[in-house]
Amino acid sequence: MKSMVGIVAALALGAAVAVAQSVDEQIAERLTAPDSICMQGDECAAAAPAAAASAGGARSGEEVYNGSCGTCHAVGVAGAPKFASAADWSPRVAKGVETLYSNAINGFNAMPAKGLCSNCSDEEIQAAVDYMVESAQ
């Protein structure tokens, strides 16, 4: 019986050491040196969007809508014009498509810039606006 308890204790101690080592490795990984972080404006930051664009090209308006815009525009959160609602979109369309593009890219009222789609290009946002406007006609 004592030998059984000793074996279980040894296994538990070994597992605890392995878990502690694993946690230490995870912490060290998170504490990456600042010089290895890629910031906007750095050459490494410019390479990521270029790689993404070459891999799949620009997303369609529908893809951007489904990935970002639909969260608010599907139900009209905070006064957002609802998808496919001519009544909601008509007054906005009357102001001109350039105004719609500018508001979508820069933010307007409760809508943050680019609807928080930080990895969307201006052209992708414009395509999403076109998609939503076309749905309301």
Q: Given this model, what pLDDT does residue 75 score?
A: 93
Direct distance between the N- and C-terminal alpha carbons of the chain, in angstroms, rounded to an integer? 80
Q: How far apart are CA 129 and CA 135, in angstroms?
A: 10
Residues contacting 92, CB < 8 A, separation 6+: 81, 99, 100
| Residue 130 identity | D
Q: How would you write the pLDDT of the chain (137 residues) with one tens digit per residue?
A: 666 655 655 555 555 445 556 777 777 666 665 555 666 666 765 554 444 444 568 999 999 999 999 999 999 999 999 999 999 999 999 999 999 999 999 999 999 999 999 999 999 999 999 999 999 99
Q: Given this model, what pLDDT does residue 72 score?
A: 93
Q: Given this model, what pLDDT does residue 64 score?
A: 96
pTM above threshold 0.75: no
CA angle 91, 130, 81 (to 5 degrees): 40
Domain 58-135 class, CATH top level: mainly alpha
DSSP secondary structure of 44-62: HHHHHHHHHHHHH-SPPHH
- DSSP-derived letter for residue 111 is B
Which H or E element spans position 66? none
